[in-house]
Chains A and B, each alone.
Chain A
Amino acid sequence: MSGWMGGSELAALRALLDRHVVGHDEAKAALLLGLVCREHVYLEGPPGSAKTRMAEIAARGSELDFFFYQMHRDTRLAELVGDVVLERRPLAASPGDPEPRGERIHQKIEPGGLLLAQVCVLDDISRAPGEALNVLLRILNERKFGDAPIPLLSAIATSNPMRDEYYNEPLDPANMDRFGIQLSVGSLVGSSEPELARSLLDRFVDGEVEEQPVLEPVCDRGLFDRLFARLGKVPVPEPVRQALLQFLHVLVRDYDCNETNALLTDRSFLVKSVKLLRGSALMAGREAVEAGDLDVLRWMTTFRVPAEVHAQVPEILERVKEKYR
């Protein structure tokens, strides 16, 4: 994905991320793509791999209202969206009851937290009881609470790898599908690039990277509004459309992805994918989608197809791109 952010307005934000977080190029790009396309991002990785830090830096660096919530085993919706209040009002008169003596008691939610944020981090989402997530994820999907729209651009959920932790439960498929972009993040220590871990160590020891950085905004919050306004107009040329369809066809026909083992939903792969392709083009500073933008699809398949198929997605994409070049 060379050329990303070259000359685009996002370069400053990316530089800010690079200044405070070592490595994780892919996750940084995916986060920014999520903000540009207004898609939610799911990051899975071991503790301490800068997942939350990246999200917070991206938000603060662009003056977006940020909300962080640590999910836990007993998480309830009310903790995320504000306070539950009981409202009582004297009952209004009605034709049958000209002088009512009584009151109307109504349970409602005073908006807070998630409902007012533009970027939110839902930390350790797998710790929350699966059932509790339904409502939350519905809010994320519709970007509405009740009838009121919410200002949220992107929710970033983080999770530890799905091992056999005692309280972890895998997200159920419908919930997983709400996160357009999904990727796993590794730790630098023990990665195939030991020099990154070394660099992290050096920069911390030398004080170049602070643990709690004071962040100055590097762009204004209007940036994402401007980008989003342009997003829908970015042309998607015919060969790219064909390549996308061919890619999906190959997954189903040659790699046996079906409704039981994969989550190849129409909504994600025919509608959201178009947004991501366009976002990828915008981030590269281009005015039209190109075959190279199809690489973003590998951030969609991470947890939507079986792991062994996902491992082959880059290869499949190469073949498809070759065919429709």
Chain B
Amino acid sequence: MEATAVADALESAIVGQAQARLGLLLALVAREHVYLEGPPGCGKSLLAETLARAATAKPVFVQFHRDTRSAELLGESVLLARPAAGGQRLSRELLPGALLEAEVAVLDDLSRAPGEAIGVLLPILGERRTAGLALPLETAIATAAPRGAESYGDPLEPTQLDRFAIQVRLSGAVSSDRAEEARQILERAVRTRAAEAAAAGSGLPLSAAERRALQARAAALELPASIRSALLRLAARLREASPEGEALITDRGFGIQAPRILRAHALLRGADRVAEPDLAAVGVMLACRVPESVRAALPELIDESISAPDSAQGAVPGEGADRVSGEGGAGVTTPGASVAADRIDAPIERVASRSPDTDLTSAEVAPLLEAIEGRLERGSAERGDDPGGTPRRYRRMRRLEEVFDADPIEAVQFVDGELPGMPHSYARERPSRGGTLAVLRDVSASMEGRLSRWAGEVVDGIVRTAARRRMRIGYCEFNHHAERFTADGRFFHRRYRKLRSLARSRRSEGRTNYEAPLRLALDEFRRGVGDNRHVVLLTDGVPVLGDPVVSRERREARRLGVRIHTVFLGLGECPQVLDQLSRETDGVRFRGVPAAGGRLRVQARVERSADR
């Protein structure tokens, strides 16, 4: 069979990664798109490029980067001037670029692309047409770094990923300790000379005509009703096994893409009709559609879908699914389902890092963290332009040097003096990685027992939230005087681990003084640079020492642009000065209130008076 030539080419190019190789072959035959996700250096790009070279006469390679422009994807804009009544008419047209003429496209490092480019690209992939023009594109292969890894682009959303029927996650042989594979890669590295590496994969084992013939044969394969029903049941089982909202089981995915993939699988198997073994091909669709635990349970889910009582023929999919879930409950491995129960209220990361000595569920702290995070977000939005940032949108050019970022045609018109006004140029912004946060924690005598534990929990959560944004954090404990905790002599630092261990502090002594800690924090802010500055003040008491209304500090905080978030843990009336602090500096206001089981619940403080 001709497809084996492509399979051989892939196998000779890369060791292991069988799932990815299968996915690529299926994509080629089924004319679907592929999304390969994996850490650096595990062969993603190599696989994609090898398939493109081995299987088609018309590949295109797009290396995505921060500045990828839609023009690079679509082609060049040209400016046309035609005589018209009383002058000339200027119009802009598109000279189709390589992507619009390619049959197989390699989209390398798609995760680095700016939102604008992705916005242009995805419709092309989905519709296979642009501006009314039908495209020859058959298969696009995108590679991406794992989501959540430090990347600077806009992460692709699951719904965007749905365009990629085939999704495979790769891992490295070394870091996964797959000894035999590592051995083979090493052997190959020792053997392969640079020249051979360049030559590999340059042949064309599969001609365009052969490829089309394969695709046509696959599309014509019989897909029996029993398999159709089993496929729909499988889709339903995958959805049930996944926690609420974490499965991406779409009509497009299982109504349109999956049948093509099953047919391609049957063809590659050498079968003349789709049969039960082909359901396994669904495995190459799942990397970003269901959680890993559910994907691992695929063989069982397939067995259940096949062996379900034969309500199948002609059944409405919903019915079939209901019945399966009704009867298949006992003894069935659905790891995802048990995870789901834990996750209903608390996002997994908060559950995972909960310290064992707490009697609070972190979910109770969550509203506070979310509100503070919202403010951090707002701070970053205010940060505005940064010439080294990611292009976000077009706006009028402001400085002459921005002409390099300007729309080329408008730039030329501008230079010629033909453009009324300024050309459009990219507005570049940086995601906020930075900012400063001071945590001021009351450790006066009344902060004992559960109050102290709870305060520690809040501090821990804040540190984690701020660490995700790489903020520098200063930590201060105060009672009648304020104590700063430094690292390398600095108040603000990024020793997150150290900060989190400080959160476990359980000391409580002395009396409360608001002025001292605020003074200390504001002094530190005054010495430093940068915007996006925050203070979180955690307290349970009224100030009995220092200025009780901290008037000087309030003024200074406004002047320095520091937001003060206040969290009152006491049971009595919240001191008015806390409301004032937050309100005047655009901070959030929270309080802890007693809840069932001796717990505390955190909720937004409401204004007591309407005197705003």
**Chain A residues within 8 Å of B, Cβ to Cβ:** 73-78, 84, 86, 88, 91, 100-107, 128-132, 134-135, 138, 163-164, 166, 169, 172-174, 177, 232, 236, 241, 244-245, 248-249, 252-253, 257-259, 262-271, 274
Contacts and interface: CB of A to CB of B under 8 A. Distances in A.
Given A266-B185, A271-B185, 12 more contacts: A76-B387, A100-B80, A101-B81, A102-B80, A128-B388, A129-B430, A134-B109, A134-B152, A169-B433, A177-B40, A264-B172, A265-B175
A75 B389 CA distance: 10
B66 A266 contact: no
A271 B189 contact: yes
Nearest to A128: B388
B171 interface: yes
Interface in B43-75: 43, 63, 65-67, 71
Closest 5 CB pairs of A and B: A267-B41, A265-B41, A129-B388, A102-B80, A131-B152
Contacts of A245: 179, 182-183, 186
17 contacts: A74-B386, A76-B388, A101-B82, A102-B82, A103-B78, A105-B78, A105-B412, A131-B388, A132-B388, A134-B112, A166-B528, A169-B470, A173-B40, A236-B190, A252-B174, A259-B172, A271-B189
Looking at A101, A128, A129, A232, the one whose CB has the most chain B CB atoms below 10 A away is: A129
Contacts of A73: 388
A265 B174 contact: yes
B490 A266 contact: no
Interface string B150-174: 1110000000000000000001111
Given A172-B152, A266-B173, A104 B112 contact: no
A252 B150 contact: no
A174 B151 CA distance: 9
B80 A131 contact: no
Interface of B: 39-43, 63, 65-67, 71, 76-83, 88, 95, 109, 112, 145-146, 149-152, 171-177, 179, 182-183, 185-187, 189-190, 193-194, 386-390, 404, 408-409, 411-412, 415, 430, 433-434, 470, 472, 487-488, 490, 492-494, 528-530
Contact of A135 (B39, B65, B174, B411): B65
A91 B408 contact: no
A234 to B, nearest CB: 10
Contacts of A76: 387-388, 404
Nearest to A167: B434
Contact of A259 (B109, B175, B387, B433): B175
A128 B66 CA distance: 14
B190 A241 contact: yes
A169 B43 CA distance: 27
A129 B389 contact: yes
Contact of B78 (A104, A107, A259, A266): A104
Contacts of A128: 388
A166 B171 contact: no
Contacts of A257: 175
Contacts of A259: 39, 146, 171-172, 175-176
A258 B177 CA distance: 9
Contact of B174 (A88, A177, A248): A248
A265 B152 contact: no
Contacts of B175: 252, 257-259, 262, 264-265
B97 to A, nearest CB: 11
B182 A105 contact: no
Contacts of B80: 91, 100-102
A309 to B, nearest CB: 13
Contacts of B151: 172
Contacts of B171: 259
Contacts, number: 167
Given A245-B183, A265-B175, A101 B189 contact: no
Looking at B40, B174, B530, the one whose CB has the most chain A CB atoms below 10 A away is: B174
B149 A131 contact: no
Nearest to B63: A138
B412 A74 contact: no
B172 A265 contact: yes
B193 A129 contact: no
A153 to B, nearest CB: 14
Given A76-B388, A101-B82, A257-B175, A270 B189 contact: yes
Contacts of B66: 131-132, 134-135
Nearest to B186: A270
Given A252-B177, A257-B175, A84 B404 contact: yes
Nearest to B69: A107
Contacts of A132: 66, 388
B79 A265 contact: no
B323 to A, nearest CB: 41
A266 B389 contact: no
Contacts of A266: 41-43, 172-174, 182, 185
Contacts of B194: 232
Contact of B40 (A77, A107, A174): A174
B352 to A, nearest CB: 13
Looking at B81, B415, B528, the one whose CB has the most chain A CB atoms below 10 A away is: B81
Contact of B190 (A75, A86, A269, A274): A274
A252 B76 CA distance: 48
Contacts of B42: 265-267
A154 to B, nearest CB: 16
A253 to B, nearest CB: 6
Contacts of A74: 386-388
B135 to A, nearest CB: 19
Contacts of B43: 266-267
Nearest to A176: B40
Given A76-B387, A129-B389, A106 B179 contact: no
B488 A267 contact: no
A169 B434 CA distance: 9
Contacts of B78: 91, 102-105
A48 B411 CA distance: 43
A183 B503 CA distance: 34
Nearest to A240: B190
A268 B42 CA distance: 10
A134 B152 CA distance: 9
Nearest to B71: A107
Contact of B182 (A134, A248, A258): A248
Contacts of A248: 174, 182
Contacts of A236: 190
Given A131-B152, A266-B174, A177 B41 contact: yes
A107 B407 CA distance: 9
Contacts of A265: 39-42, 172, 174-175
Contacts of A163: 488
Contacts of A241: 183, 186-187, 190
A134 B65 contact: yes
Contacts of A172: 149-152
Nearest to B180: A245
B40 A267 contact: yes
B430 A264 contact: no
A188 B42 CA distance: 39
Nearest to B17: A266
Nearest to A142: B63
Contact of A166 (B95, B408, B430, B530): B530
Contacts of A267: 40-43
Contacts of A107: 71, 408
Given A245-B182, A270-B174, A102 B41 contact: no
Contacts of B415: 86
A264 B174 CA distance: 6
Looking at B175, B187, B530, the one whose CB has the most chain A CB atoms below 10 A away is: B175
Looking at B172, B194, B389, B493, the one whose CB has the most chain A CB atoms below 10 A away is: B172
Contact of B76 (A106, A232, A274): A106
B177 A86 contact: no
B297 to A, nearest CB: 22
Contacts of A105: 76-79, 408-409, 412
A263 B67 CA distance: 26
